[in-house]
Amino acid sequence: MKVYRHGDTYIAPKGSFFDGNVKIDGNFIAPSETHIWGNIIVGGRLELGPYSTVGGYVEAESIVVGRNVKIKGPLRVLETATICDNACLHSIRAGGNITLRPGVKVGDVNSEETIFVYGKVASERLFGRAVKVYGT
Instruction: Return the biggest CA–CA distance within the chain.
Output: 43
Q: Looking at residue 3, what is its pLDDT?
A: 87
Residues 24, 43: contact at Cβ < 8 Å? yes
The predicted model scores a pTM of: 0.93
Predicted confidence band of residue 118 (pLDDT cuts 50, 70, 90): very high
Amino acid (1-letter code) at residue 71: I
Please report how many Cα atoms fall inside a 13 Å half-sphere around the Cα of residue 48, on the Cβ side: 31
**Rounded Cα distance, 67 and 45, in Å:** 17
Give 136's pLDDT tier (boundaries 50, 70, 90): low
Q: What values do phi and psi take at 120, rounded to 5? A: -90, 125
Residue partners of 61: CB distance under 8 A and separation at least 6: 42, 43, 44, 45, 77, 78, 79
* Tens digits of residue pLDDT in 10-65: 999 988 999 999 999 999 999 999 999 999 999 999 999 999 999 999 999 999 99
Cβ count within 10 A of residue 127: 12
Q: Whole-number mean pLDDT of the chain?
A: 95
Residue 128 per-residue DSSP state: S
Q: Where exactly are the structural domains of the chain?
A: 4-134
